[in-house]
Every structure is written in C-alpha cells, then in structure tokens.
Amino acid sequence: MSTTLFSAAFGVGTQNRQGAWLEVFYAQPLINPSAELIAAVAPILGYTGGNQAITFSTAQAAQMAEAVKPVDAAQAALLTRLAESHKPLVATLLAEDATLTTTPEAYLKLHLLSHRLVKPHGLNLAGVFPLLPNVAWTSQGAIDLSELAERQLEARLRGELLEVFSVDKFPKMTDYVVPAGVRIADAARIRLGAYVGEGTTVMHEGFVNFNAGTEGPGMIEGRVSAGVFVGKGSDLGGGCSTMGTLSGGGNIVIKVGEGCLIGANAGIGIPLGDRNTVESGLYLTAGTKVALLDENNQLVKVLKARDLAGQPDLLFRRNSQTGAVECKTHKSAIELNEALHAHN
C-alpha cells in the first residue's frame, strides 16, 4: 500500500440517531501528510488505501497517539485529546483529490479551504451538496431536522431553551476555524469552506461563500459568491455582488484582480483584471454592451463586457445623460482594442 496521501485528518463529529454523519470538526487537517504518519496509523485503523472515512474508538485514538509520537508530536497531542471524546471519532484519509463520496470527506475539504491549505478552485468538490445534510445549527450543536422537535421539547422540559441559529447545509466557518489576521463583523455570514486571507476585514453586510474568498488584505462589504476569489488590496463596497457559478455565472470563473474597487450596490458577471473600478450601482454582466472610449472620451468601439474580462486598469461607468455603459482606461483605448483582437 502506498502511504503517500493527498490529505488526512482526525476528527470528532455529530451523528443522528441512525448513525449518519451530520458534521465533522478537524482541528488539524493535513495536506500531503508524511508517509511515516500514515504508516503508523494504518494498521490500527485497518486502512488499506484509497479514499476512506474510518470511525475509530477512544482506545484506538490512544493507540494511534502512541504510534505517531516519534513522527508527529502535534498529531499525537491531538489524538491524545480525541481519546477523551464522548462524541464519535473519524479518520478521513484521501489518497487522491477525487469526487467526494462521504460526509466526513466533504467536511475535510471544506476545512482545507478555511485553514488556507488550498485556495478556491484548488479542490475537486464534485458531489459535495448531496453529502452535506441540511441540519439545524443550534445552541446544542448540529441536530437532524427529523429529530429537532423532540430535542426542543426535551430542552424545554429541562427548563432550557434550544436556540436554532440557522437551517442550512453549511455551518459558520468560525465554529470550525478562525484564520489568523482577519476581522469578521458577523460570523454567521462566512460559511465553512470560505478562504479568508490574512488582512481581510469582512463588515456586517459582507458575505463569503464556500470555495470562495480573498487573498487579503482587503475590505469586503459586499457579496463574494461561490467560486469567486478576490485579489490583494481590493475593496467590495456595501451591497455589491459578484456572480458565482451557482447563481447564473455558468462556467465562467469570476475573480477580482488586485487593487480593484467594486462600488456600493454594483455587481460583476465577468472576471476583473488588476486595478479595475466598477462605478457604484452598475451591474456588469458578460453580455452588457460597453462603449470603449479613448483618452479624449471619443468612442472607439462598442463591445460586450466579456471582451474586456481580465484586462487591467479599466474604469466601468454609466453615462448619466445617455445611460450607456462606458469603459475608460489609463492606457489608450486604441492600444487596448488592438491588444484585445491581436489573436483573433
């Protein structure tokens, strides 16, 4: 058996009364774990290769802690703590970055993103939605929806309030990991699986979906939709939106370059190059007709916004008299136009 794996983690989670996984917490997920670590735990777990999620007992956790002490002190310390658990334990071992098959695998990949071990679009997340059960996220943790009413009654009979914070497939990122060097005004608006780069501030109305995020530093007061990655030094103004692949963006990967500004209540459906500005209130879809202007504000050509995708140093604005969407550049628009069509 090959002991070279793509990822591995030891976790503690929640199951429903039928033993199905609702969620898993991995304190120290690993990318490319050492062959020595895997060789030490494989016999105890009965791992023989491939992508597997293997439940293990507290006694096995203690065994593995002793076995890995010589090769990985941090994982040994974690396993020692897991040996004290009153909740179910699982080891998730991924030989390759393949299509997901279990809920613990799905949670591991979401952890890899939020721990900044992999950037958005760096993982195969095919099959993720059916493997994330829709659960009630409560003051007593994750609860199966079919069991919620009974649990609420049980809490009331004990004189307690079971508070339901949300009903969703994705939990809050900060219940699993708080990345270093970030400010998050409302933790409920960052889903597990978000990549929040160091130096990022997410204000109260900001939102970051899974498999999306920011390189950092940056200011997020708008919506970073699934699949969107925001470059260094960019600012998303209040109420602005980025079109993700889950909300009509098709197969176009929407990203925001470095040093960009998307104004308040604006939006983009195209990738932005570095140092782009989108005027407040302007929603720029791929098919939006854009008048390309030269340095004298003379029309060069009318084209679709997708033809300007990824180009640097652009200002997108709406003419307040005609309503036309216009684009100006720090460069000559003629030069830009020639560059756009050089390979046609």
Distance CA 220, CA 231 (A): 11
Tell whether 247 is in a known binding site. Answer: no
Name the catalytic one among 66, 221, 295, 338: 221
Q: How far apart are the first and last CA of the chain?
A: 50
| CB burial readout 221-238, b (16+ within 10 A) else e | bbbbbbbbbbbbbbbbbe
Region of 48 please: left (phi>0), alpha (psi -120 to 50) or beta.
alpha
- In this structure, the strands spanning 7-15 and 30-31 are antiparallel
Q: CA-to-CA distance for 210 and 192, rounded, in angstroms?
A: 6
Rounded CA-CA distance 172/187 in Å is: 7
- Which phi-psi region, left, alpha or beta, contains residue 300 (left: φ > 0; alpha: ψ -120 to 50)? alpha
**150 in catalytic set:** no
Q: For residue 201, how far is the Cα from the chain centroid? A: 16
238 is in an annotated binding site: yes
Q: Which residues of 76-115 are buried (b: 16+ CB within 10 A; e: fewer)?
A: bebbeebbeeeebbbbbbbbebeebebbbbbbbbbbbbbb
Is the preceding omega at residue 217 within 30 degrees of 0, hence cis? yes
Q: Does the annotation flag 323 for ligand binding?
A: no
Rounded distance between C-alpha atoms, residue 62 and residue 56, angstroms: 10
- The pair of structure tokens assigned to 235 is 């600012």
189 assigned ligand-binding residue? no
| 138/277 Cα distance (integer angstroms) | 41
Residue 112 sits at φ, ψ, to 5 deg, of -60, -40
69 is in an annotated binding site: no
| Residues in a beta bridge with 137 | 142, 166
85 is in an annotated binding site: no
166 is in an annotated binding site: no
Coil, helix or strand at residue 44: helix
Residue 280 among known ligand-binding residues: yes
169 is in an annotated binding site: no
Give me the active site residues, please: 221
Binding-site residues from annotation for Mg(2+): 205
- The annotated binding site for succinyl-CoA is made up of 223, 238, 241, 264, 279-280, 287, 304, 317-320
Q: Which residues are annotated as a binding site?
A: 205, 223, 238, 241, 264, 279-280, 287, 304, 317-320
